[in-house]
Structure 1
Amino acid sequence: MITSHTNGYVQEASAPGVSHRERAVDCPGQEGSLIKSPHCSVHMERIQHYHEELRKRREGDHKGKHDIDPNTSLRLKKLSQNPKMGIDNPTFEEKEKAPKEVTSLEPVVALSGSSLCARLSELEELLQVLKWVQQCLMDSQSQQDVETIMQLLTKEEFRNAYTIYSALSQQMSRVSPTSPLTVQAQDLCQEVQRVLQTSQQKEGLELSALLTNPHLQALMQAHDIVAVQELTEESVTQYLGETVKLVRLQKARDTPLGATVRNDLDNVVVSRVVKGGAAERSGLLSEGDEILEINGIPIRGKHVNEVHDLLQEMHGTLTFLLIPTSHNKPAPHRQTVMHVRAYFDYDPSDDLFVPCRELGLSFQKGDILHVISQDDPNWWQAYRDGDEDNQPLAGLIPGKSFQQQRESLKKTIPDRSQEQQGKIWCSKKSKKLRRKNTSTLNRNTDHDDILTYEEMSLYHQPANRKRPIALIGPANSGYDDLRRRLLSIEPEKFAVAVPHTTRNPRIHERNGREYHFVSRSAFETDLAAGKFIESGEYEKNLYGTSMDSVRHVVNSGRICLLCLHTRSLQVLRSSNLKPFVIFIAPPSQERLRTLLATDGKTVKLEELKEVIENAREMDVNYSHFFDATIVNFDPDQAFQELRRLIDKLDTEPQWVPTSWLC
């Protein structure tokens, strides 16, 4: 078998299609035909010997627990040695020697010997105190009251009742609480509530009202918290130089345990605790723990596939016999959820490096991912936005640095191939050219230029500060027609930013209405200062759209409509304008020809192909800037979809880069 170590994971390559380095213990997935490790009988004999010793030790602890020994009570010995302390009452030894009257009380009294003597001595002490108090009292009424109490305490009926009470209270104090049947009382209550939603019977309505009571819900929450604590480590024992830990977990039939295991020679080791599973909620399993037994079934020597098959059929209370990890467990800390937008497609079935294929989370470019754990920097745990209810366990996705390294490696391999080809075809190169190639290689391997994830936050636009709408698309895709249509229908709601130009104004033009007319030197100064979103030159005159012009429309409470080149998106996004970018994509080639012909435009086949190709390049190179995409198959439908997206900004929060809100 050939093994290769990659990023800390051992990849087995003994057979094609086998890629399990970790195995989710109870998640369905593709089975691997890996070699089974031999069973280690010596260690299991040690564990069985340990169980036998533990059983004998427990029996010894309980043996003689209720034997009566009067000498254990110092107060009783003191009473028996000092007759003055008693008040016409026989000692315990005398009562034992006297003939016993067979009553139903004797079995109860016999349950506790030394404690009974201690209780009787307390009565004697109380009588002595009352006698002293009686002597200190001056009025006859108080002395008479004390005498009445003393007579009550000396009556045989009272002493028998007190003896029964003492024995029962001691027995009740020794009874351990019943082990919890579940740690999901809250979930069960919610499930019952869902069943009762359609019930119209009186009993069902009454039960539903009880289950929704805040006090009962708080009780169920407290129950689950205590239950988790009850189902904690039963024992941690040092045995033959090894610390053995016994823990119990509660696993529902339809709830995965949420842990992965790996083989370390003959050992089965917990490799990963996945967020959202029973193991993670209990906090009892740790990465690096070796599993010896599960519900009495030996595990050491089994392959991870066998452990998977075993645990997939188990539910209820699971008892694990573990050897705890020797690594120091870090102090628990509250994980901060990070929301990111993915800028690449990912399919775990095509990834040879994913440590556990069953837990791999697939996603597409543009998806929002909620990262809940970055404990492993190479493999984050995350949920897809909108799938939290249907996805009980978090999925594994490549970490940002790990993915950047992989993408960088993909880029350098073709560059080196081209460099080798260049050396073959052109053996002599100038030093200047070689230096240029080297700098290009370094630039390509810069991780900051590789798009993987961007941290996002929810943002709701204020009513008086609308986000600018930037329409992007190739020529003849119809994005400019959509802008003009919006402006003509609702001019009080939409507006355009007044551009700047260096040409002279015409007769009907007014400064600040059609254009901001400025000198060439002033334009170039603002351009150098980065005040323009985009700019260009036409017939020796400069034109441009400034950020101040867009900001003026935003401050007026209207929505600024922009039609920009894709090269301007980076500048617009780097501003504080928080734009909403919509890509207007052309339809198929034949449909595009029909739409242009309807508008009276006649274009050649090469021009149609160029529109389609430009749209494809825009999508490949700039789609990470797009908030939405509209395929302009039908102008009316595209316009309605555009209006829907714009209106949605007023009613629903949108994901925006977190850097915008800092």
Structure 2
Amino acid sequence: MRVFVAVQLQGCSICYMVSGVLLFDADISIHQCSSHDCIAEQELDVETIESVDQDENTTKLASLEKTRDMPLGVTVRNEHDRVIISRVVSGGPTEKSNLLSEGDETLEINGVPVRGKSVNDVHNILMHVKANFSYDPSEDPYVPCRELGLSFQKGDVLHVTSQDDPNWWQAYRDGHEDQKPLAGLIPDLLSSGKLWCAKKGKKQRKKLLFNPSKNIEHYTEDILTYEEVALYHQPPNRKRPIALIGPPNSGHDELRQRLLSLEPDRFAGAVPHTTRKPRAHEVNGREYNFVSRQSFESDLAAGKFTESGEFEQNLYGTNTDSVGQVVNSGKICLLCLHPRSLRVLCSSDLKPYIIFIRPPPPPQERFSTLLTRETLEKVREMEHSYGHLFDAVITNTEQEKSVSELLRLIDKLDIEPQWVPSDWVS
């Protein structure tokens, strides 16, 4: 994670881009932060920092590459409405960098002005993680105090307030910070991995987000137990693409077509690429982007296709460039994808919003049929292997209700910030 810290110095202001996590605890010390002397400076216009006085001062951007093994060597305090650096520890990375001094005022963190905020407010800005597993302290024989253990469900966002203990972090569930006097204990990243693997009966620790060499029918995807997340509010002119995921009989493609027909000025599909020759009525860039086989294979090797295939010796696929064209036009790009395609989409800069479409529950008299069992198994596999990527889930019992729910979720993206992987923001 990269944390941007703007501080007001005597005679100028400097914006620090720190790669890592800053955590302020109750005694307003900074923990779990360290750096080495890898400094890059860049002149920026002073107006890029909202809280900086508009004078002859310039803004400098310094980058410190951090690890988690050493403290940054600096503490802060509140002084009236300001957050002030109160101490630079002798011999620490901050002193060696010669970039921060006692008395400097912290102006912004991750672009959020902190003047007027308490130090306790400051760490709300800093570290949140999404849990990719469920945890019940009453079932954990290793939790040091069950009464202090924090239970959570898969998908919950946790505000981590302390990582001082090597095995147990302190955290709140997002939104509960003001409702409970004490933070709860959650297993740290390594302990949670061991705990999850013990539940799954696996010997190896789950740690990778994707394993594209395997397919959904034959593997359980490796997943991070916690994923660091940050709040993101989509700009008005750059809408997040909507990816609908579901088994073949879930009706997700029909829902996509319904949205496209309902609001064609708001929604659009990505124009696919193909290596076949255009037919008489077809226009390049409308029905298809017609490209050479060499160009198609080059983009395919570069990982630019979310999905691709071959039919009658011609290649077809959806290129992330086509998705980007829709996004840049100000419209919302609607996609129906196989879950394996999410690997490419999520690693792009497109910031997709992913909705899983469940098929309706089968009638009781058909529950035991082979087709129904296969469908239910496919749903379980998708949710187990890719559920950590889903932003929302809709059970498609009735199309009109599902369309209304889709529109409600899409409308919410314009109103409320959403939790996304922190790398997408930094």
Task: State the TM bucket, normalised to the shorter chain.
Answer: 0.5 to 0.7
Query: Is 1:613 aligned with 2:377?
Result: yes
Counterpart pick for 1:457 among 212, 230, 242: 230
CA displacement 1:258-287 (0-9 Å, x = unmatched): xxxxxxxxxxxxxxxxx99xxx6899xxxx
Q: Secondary structure at the match of 1:476?
A: helix
Match of 1:491 in 2: 264
**Larger RCO (alpha carbons 8 Å, 6+ apart):** 2
Query: Is 1:554 aligned with 2:327?
Result: yes
> 1 CA distance for matches of 2:364 and 2:130?
33
Q: Per-residue deviation at 1:403? A: 1.5
Matched residues, number: 301
Counterpart pick for 1:531 among 287, 292, 304: 304
> 1 CA distance for matches of 2:165 and 2:290?
57
Match of 1:575 in 2: 348
Question: In 1, are the aligned partners of 2:28 and 2:75 still within 8 Å (CA)?
Answer: no
One-letter amino acid of the structure 2 residue matched with residue 402 of structure 1: S
Counterpart pick for 1:586 among 344, 359, 362: 359
> 1 CA distance for matches of 2:302 and 2:266?
31
Q: Per-residue deviation at 1:593? A: 7.3
Query: Is 1:392 aligned with 2:181?
Result: yes
Query: Is 1:563 aligned with 2:336?
Result: yes
> Gaps spanning 5+ residues in structure 2: where?
1-23, 30-72, 77-118, 209-221
Question: In 1, are the aligned partners of 2:304 and 2:344 still within 8 Å (CA)?
Answer: no
Matches within 5 A, 1:336-355: 336=123, 337-355=126-144
Query: Is 1:520 aligned with 2:284?
Result: no
> 1 CA distance for matches of 2:337 and 2:181?
43
Q: Per-residue deviation at 1:414? A: 5.4
Q: Per-residue deviation at 1:409? A: 5.8
> Gaps spanning 5+ residues in structure 1: where?
1-274, 284-329, 416-443, 595-603
Q: Secondary structure at the match of 1:650?
A: helix
> 2 CA distance for matches of 1:399 and 1:529?
36
CA displacement 1:195-240 (0-9 Å, x = unmatched): xxxxxxxxxxxxxxxxxxxxxxxxxxxxxxxxxxxxxxxxxxxxxx
Question: In 2, are the aligned partners of 1:408 and 1:450 still within 8 Å (CA)?
Answer: no
CA displacement 1:501-542 (0-9 Å, x = unmatched): 112222221111011111222211111122212111223221
Matches within 5 A, 1:378-527: 378-408=167-197, 444-445=204-205, 447-448=207-208, 449-527=222-300
Change (3 A) 1:464 1:631: same
Q: Per-residue deviation at 1:372? A: 0.6
Change (3 A) 1:479 1:592: farther
Stretches of 4+ aligned residues off by more than 3 angstroms: 280-283, 330-337, 405-411, 444-450, 591-594
Question: In 1, are the aligned partners of 2:239 and 2:331 still within 8 Å (CA)?
Answer: yes
> 2 CA distance for matches of 1:630 and 1:414?
31
Change (3 A) 1:630 1:410: closer
CA displacement 1:111-140 (0-9 Å, x = unmatched): xxxxxxxxxxxxxxxxxxxxxxxxxxxxxx
Match of 1:630 in 2: 394
Query: Is 1:363 aligned with 2:152?
Result: yes
Q: Per-residue deviation at 1:606? A: 2.2
One-letter amino acid of the structure 1 residue matched with residue 296 of structure 2: F
> 1 CA distance for matches of 2:224 and 2:406?
28
Question: In 1, are the aligned partners of 2:136 and 2:150 still within 8 Å (CA)?
Answer: yes
Q: Secondary structure at the match of 1:401?
A: helix
CA displacement 1:575-600 (0-9 Å, x = unmatched): 00000000001121118979xxxxxx
- Quick one: percent identity of the two aligned structures? 62
> 1 CA distance for matches of 2:286 and 2:265?
16
> 1 CA distance for matches of 2:369 and 2:175?
43
CA displacement 1:522-565 (0-9 Å, x = unmatched): 21111112221211122322111111100000010000000000
One-letter amino acid of the structure 1 residue matched with residue 151 of structure 2: S
Considering only CA atoms, is the larger Rg found in Structure 1 or Structure 2? 1
> 2 CA distance for matches of 1:481 and 1:282?
54
Query: Is 1:653 aligned with 2:426?
Result: no
Q: Per-residue deviation at 1:473? A: 0.3
Match of 2:166 in 1: 377
One-letter amino acid of the structure 1 residue matched with residue 358 of structure 2: A
Change (3 A) 1:505 1:591: farther
CA displacement 1:141-162 (0-9 Å, x = unmatched): xxxxxxxxxxxxxxxxxxxxxx
Question: In 1, are the aligned partners of 2:238 and 2:327 still within 8 Å (CA)?
Answer: yes
Change (3 A) 1:369 1:551: same
Q: Secondary structure at the match of 2:276?
A: coil
TM-score (norm 1): 0.43
CA displacement 1:41-97 (0-9 Å, x = unmatched): xxxxxxxxxxxxxxxxxxxxxxxxxxxxxxxxxxxxxxxxxxxxxxxxxxxxxxxxx
One-letter amino acid of the structure 2 residue matched with residue 617 of structure 1: E
> 2 CA distance for matches of 1:463 and 1:282?
37
Match of 2:405 in 1: 641
Q: Secondary structure at the match of 1:492?
A: coil
Question: In 2, are the aligned partners of 1:585 and 1:631 still within 8 Å (CA)?
Answer: yes
> 1 CA distance for matches of 2:366 and 2:392?
24
> 2 CA distance for matches of 1:331 and 1:498?
52
Change (3 A) 1:457 1:282: closer
> 2 CA distance for matches of 1:414 and 1:281?
40
Change (3 A) 1:414 1:381: closer
> 1 CA distance for matches of 2:134 and 2:296?
42
Q: What is the RMSD computed on CA atoms of the aligned residues?
A: 2.7
Q: Per-residue deviation at 1:482? A: 0.7
> 2 CA distance for matches of 1:390 and 1:445?
34
Matches within 5 A, 1:33-432: 336=123, 337-408=126-197
Match of 1:542 in 2: 315
Question: In 2, are the aligned partners of 1:498 and 1:545 still within 8 Å (CA)?
Answer: yes
Question: In 1, are the aligned partners of 2:354 and 2:391 still within 8 Å (CA)?
Answer: yes
Q: Per-residue deviation at 1:345? A: 0.5
Question: In 2, are the aligned partners of 1:498 and 1:514 still within 8 Å (CA)?
Answer: yes
Q: Secondary structure at the match of 1:344?
A: coil
One-letter amino acid of the structure 2 residue matched with residue 606 of structure 1: L
Change (3 A) 1:503 1:606: farther
Q: Per-residue deviation at 1:377? A: 2.6
